[in-house]
Amino acid sequence: MSRATSRPSSLRGWRRALASTAPASTWVLRLVVGGILVSEGIQKFLFPAELGAGRFSRIGLPAPDLLAPFVALVEIGGGAALVLGLVTRLVAAPLLVSMLVAITSTKLVTL
């Protein structure tokens, strides 16, 4: 088997893995939410005092030096998976927990 014939078969596997019958609105939502999550996760590494461990410390979350990079990685990995449409149900659980903690620790405290 030549290289030329082996490449299309490997590409077929990727096409099948990425194939979806989801409506276009689902893809748009995944792109927007995933893009925001990736951006926010990267910013936690770029600006740790303002958006990472410093912010986590100011709002009273435990172990901010460990929690902030962990949350950033969850946001980057989960956001990228959403954008690519890979294991979306699997990444939804940790992203949901992250967002619920963010909402309860920042928004509900001020009510």
38 sits in which H/E element? helix 24-46
Low-confidence spans in the chain with pLDDT less than 70: 1-10, 13-14, 16-20, 110-111
Mean confidence (pLDDT) of the chain: 88
pLDDT value of position 24? 85
Torsion sign over Cα 20, 26, 32, 37: negative
Which pLDDT score is estimated for 3? 54
Q: Which pLDDT value is given to residue 53?
A: 96
Region of residue 60 (left: phi > 0; alpha: psi -120 to 50; beta: else): left
- From residue 52, how far is each of 37, 65, 71 by CA, in Å? 14, 8, 9
The residues, any chain, with a CB within 8 Å of residue 105's CB and separated by 6 or more, are 59, 60, 61
